[in-house]
Structure 1
Amino acid sequence: MSRTWLALPLGSMVALMIIGSSGVAVALPTLSADLGLDVAATSWVLASFGLTLAVATAVFGRWADLVGLRRPLLVGVALVAAGSMTAATAGSFEVLIAGRLVQGAGGGAVPVVVTGLVTARFSGAERARMLGVIGVIVSIVSGSGPLIGGAIEHALSWRAVVGLPVLVLLLVLPVARLATTSGDDRGVGLDLPGALLTGTSVGSGMVLLQAVGGTLAPLAMGGVAVVAAVSTATLVVHVRRRPRGFLPRRLLGDVGLRRACLAGFATLTSWLAMLLAVPELLAGVQGWEPWRIGVAMVPGAAIGALASRAVSTRRRQRDRGRIAAGLLVIGAVGLAIGGAAGGEPAPLVLGLALVAACFGGAHVVLLDAVPDLVPEGLRGGAIGLFNLAMFTGGAVGAALAGGLAGMLGLRGALVALSVFPLVGAVAALGVTRGTPVEDVSR
């Protein structure tokens, strides 16, 4: 199969998962009005999907190491379908969030399968070009998500939009034929307790981030803080006792990989914050309908696609950190412009386009760099840890934007969140300087 024909189904699968955020974002004003939600509660429609997507990506990654790629792909797609149907037919906020959690959990298999297939079939410059082609497809399809979502919402309803990822069923057969059916156990196994502790720690932390806007009573906030503290402390102990588990201790000790993870975290933090804020501001200030919001957000698709394509042609290792850092600075400028826009369409669209360039380019550069930061036998785990950090960043970006909106307003929240890509830019500058540390798991 040629590179383009392989990239088409792989990129489309990833794009459909991202549409789970970008397409749904444009329908949030209608959804929140229908269910009577404020901005903080509405942000959980994006954050819940991102949270389980992040944790499930690492779980599916380790499972794929054990049994190959095909079985995780089939289970993941089944979960996406079940979650999509649940969310699309939800009669309450609670059922909607439950469906989105299942949807995100299934979606975690997609980046694992896509990255696994590319890594197995390509290396060096070919791998970079393949990731670039996939990045272009992802940027075009997912960047058009607001337009697709707006059109579907206008013609049908927001329910059809949240159910859109079910279309991944149409792509599962051609990809499953290419997926491997065997793995390499090496006596490590799945670390489900580690995954549960990680999800609990991150999820409770996200609730606390939202609480800055006063969305929780003091007693409830105290209870969540206890859960966050206990789960985090237990996770630290668990990592020490099981150094080759869900969060591999050896990889956590690699300085270059930590920098890449922090930079990846910042890229999706910025993107999800903008996806939450722009539709809410255009609907709230300008009174725009979802289809019009979708049209206004389309330029981000072109900018993101161009950024993905441009960076894929520059693979020299010493350049990758600087390219990612520059794109993250552009993302910070985009967030600041969006926050200062006052709800005016032109600067909001400009800010979104700059953040799209940051996301579209930086994640391709960083994902290409990650396998070269660690020894060959640890590359699968490194990619899984990077994806965990990046998708967690997306969930945190949506949750924190919703929480800060209660205190600063959405405009102020965007300006405050511009700090994240700046920190990520500093981290990205050191990505190629990291060297694998001694194996502490032995």
Structure 2
Amino acid sequence: MSHLTEPCARGSARAAGAVVSQTPKRAQRRVLAGTVLGSSLAFIDSSAVNLTLPVIQQRLGGDLASAQWIMNAYSLMLSALVLSGGAAADRYGRKRVFIVGVAVFTAASLACALAPSLPVLIAARAVQGIGAALMTPASLALLGATFEEKGRGQAVGIWAGAGGLMSALGPVLGGWLTDTVSWRAVFVINLPIAAVAVWLVAAGARESRGTRSGPVDWAGAAAVTAGLALITWGLTDAPRKGFADPLVIAALVLGLAGLAAFVLIERRAENPMTPLKLFRSVSFSGLNGLTLLLYAAFGGALFLLPFQLIRAHHYPPAAAGAALLPLSVGLAVLSPLAGRLASRFGARALLTAGPTLVGVGFALLAWRAGDGGYWSGVFPGLAVLALGMGVAVAPLTDAVLGAVPGEFEGAASGINNATARVAGLLAVALVGFVLGAADPPAVAAGYRVAMIVAAVGSVAAGLVGWLTVRPLAKG
């Protein structure tokens, strides 16, 4: 998910409300700059680390599963805890939780940079995910609490645009640092950025809390974290051990039991992190199904793209990072235009056309998988991918917010964000079924299969959009 800005970011900020009124303009600018820098840590880190995975694997050793866990340890904690992180910000203070999240993320980044082995690196990446789960929703809540309604949309637009820019720079920066310094420098660069972000927010933000009282749903967070962790472990090890292996079977069964326990907890919780009654809406359920399919295809395929470019086609890391720029730039340019198109043609049309175009892009990448030339083998598919995702992302936000009553916009946007993250998590866990090993021949063959699977999943997402999305209306 490294090349996408947050889905439904606007809803998360709007749900916080302008509880701090008359914030001085200078303080508002500081909060905006601080939250942009803090959130950019996650955007830069995710996209840069994804690009350097083949190099990290070569330097520290390990098999494909190790490379998967470098990404999934981070994604797991972020996916499972981001809703609780938002609730913690409302309960304990948005400013406090943001600063704590940045501090945790920064300490973990230093541990990543100094990691002597893959297990230490993977553990540090998990702690990074915890920090990101605190600071990302808190940054949006800070914007909602600092800016009044008139300026909030512009502030969130700047936040999202900066996130897209940082995602675009991440692969190039990560590749350049890996080529000229070391892969460890990708993590070290987080330290000065974090220091400035904390200073700006500490100086500019007033403390604020949400209006809802009651405890944070930590029991639900623990259950979903355990369930997703076990399922991810089982899916990651299944290609090597087989589904008949007792440990794989046990992990998958216990993981499903953990998710079932999560559903039961949410039904009874005083302040559930996932209000299950929202899924009574056919549109809301369908939109989350669309998100799951589309972001799984996107995340799994793009996990493999750096391996294809670096291992199979022998691109230098910096060149491989630059190769992804059209995707990020296209998304940044097209998303605002798609929002205006949705108001004219309706979200249903764009949420059908967008994922279908994404499927065409993946099909082009599969067709040209054996061509190492950038302009003939990579760029055409990425260009169509950018067009499709650019068409889909903005209408998806509006459709999700339009599918629920106004008082549930914050929960709906958070659920859709978490769905996108879980989709990427599970997709990367499943990569082993089409790759098998990380040597160049396996990468080339597995990459083509993965692109075909991603194309099918994306077209299926478009079909779900056509069948379930209704005209935007509250209720």
TM-score range, shorter chain: 0.7 to 0.9
- Out of 461, 464, 474, the residue aligned to residue 424 of structure 1 is 461
Aligned to 1:415: 452
Aligned to 2:54: 29
Contact 1:68 1:181 in 2 (8 A): yes
Tell me how far apart the structure 2 counterparts of residues 138 and 355 of structure 1 sit (CA, whole Å). Answer: 19
Range 1-10 or range 342-351, more displaced: 1-10
1:370-389 CA-to-partner distances (Å, cap 9, x unmatched) read 33332332222222212111
Matched, 1:366 2:396: yes
Range 168-177 or range 70-79, more displaced: 168-177
Range 92-101 or range 299-308, more displaced: 299-308
Matched, 1:225 2:252: yes
Number of residues of Structure 1 aligned to a counterpart in Structure 2: 436
Tell me how far apart the structure 2 counterparts of residues 377 and 178 of structure 1 sit (CA, whole Å). Answer: 28
Which residue type is aligned with residue 316 of structure 2?
E
Aligned to 2:431: 401
Matched, 1:208 2:238: no
Tell me how far apart the structure 1 counterparts of residues 149 and 282 of structure 2 sit (CA, whole Å). Answer: 23
Q: CA RMSD in A?
A: 3.0
Matched, 1:71 2:108: no
Aligned to 2:5: none
Range 180-189 or range 86-95, more displaced: 180-189
Contact 2:298 2:454 in 1 (8 A): no
Contact 2:73 2:129 in 1 (8 A): yes
Range 364-373 or range 137-146, more displaced: 364-373
Contact 1:333 1:418 in 2 (8 A): yes
- Out of 392, 412, 420, the residue aligned to residue 422 of structure 2 is 392
- Out of 140, 145, 150, the residue aligned to residue 170 of structure 2 is 145
Contact 1:153 1:161 in 2 (8 A): yes
- Out of 272, 287, 308, the residue aligned to residue 245 of structure 1 is 272
Tell me how far apart the structure 1 counterparts of residues 335 and 211 of structure 2 sit (CA, whole Å). Answer: 35
Which TM-score applies when normalising by structure 1?
0.87
Aligned to 1:440: none
Tell me how far apart the structure 2 counterparts of residues 211 and 320 of structure 1 sit (CA, whole Å). Answer: 39
Shift of 1:23: 0.8
Contact 1:141 1:301 in 2 (8 A): no
Aligned to 1:320: 347
Tell me how far apart the structure 1 counterparts of residues 334 and 76 of structure 2 sit (CA, whole Å). Answer: 26
- 1:165-184 → structure 2 map (5 Å cutoff): 165-166=190-191, 167-176=193-202, 179=205, 181-184=207-210
- Out of 54, 58, 71, the residue aligned to residue 46 of structure 1 is 71
Tell me how far apart the structure 2 counterparts of residues 376 and 37 of structure 1 sit (CA, whole Å). Answer: 48
Aligned to 2:222: 196
Contact 1:251 1:257 in 2 (8 A): yes
Tell me how far apart the structure 1 counterparts of residues 235 and 109 of structure 2 sit (CA, whole Å). Answer: 27
SS state of the match for residue 431, structure 2? helix
Shift of 1:243: 6.5
Range 65-74 or range 428-437, more displaced: 428-437
Contact 1:304 1:357 in 2 (8 A): yes
1:155-212 CA-to-partner distances (Å, cap 9, x unmatched) read 1111122444443332233345555523246443211110011112222222333345
- 1:252-331 → structure 2 map (5 Å cutoff): 252-314=279-341, 316=343, 319-331=346-358
Shift of 1:127: 6.0
Percent of residue pairs bearing the same amino acid type = 25
Which residue type is aligned with residue 337 of structure 1?
L
Tell me how far apart the structure 1 counterparts of residues 456 and 168 of structure 2 sit (CA, whole Å). Answer: 24
- Out of 353, 360, 366, the residue aligned to residue 339 of structure 1 is 366
Tell me how far apart the structure 1 counterparts of residues 371 and 333 of structure 2 sit (CA, whole Å). Answer: 25
Contact 1:334 1:350 in 2 (8 A): yes
Shift of 1:30: 1.0
> Unmatched 5+ residue regions in structure 2?
1-24, 438-444
Shift of 1:59: 1.0
Tell me how far apart the structure 2 counterparts of residues 52 and 182 of structure 1 sit (CA, whole Å). Answer: 25
Which residue type is aligned with residue 223 of structure 1?
A
Shift of 1:17: 1.0
Shift of 1:419: 3.0
SS state of the match for residue 327, structure 2? helix
Contact 1:339 1:411 in 2 (8 A): yes
> Unmatched 5+ residue regions in structure 1?
438-442
Tell me how far apart the structure 1 counterparts of residues 73 and 259 of structure 2 sit (CA, whole Å). Answer: 19
Contact 2:402 2:473 in 1 (8 A): no
1:46-95 CA-to-partner distances (Å, cap 9, x unmatched) read 22211211122111111122233112201110111121111111112111
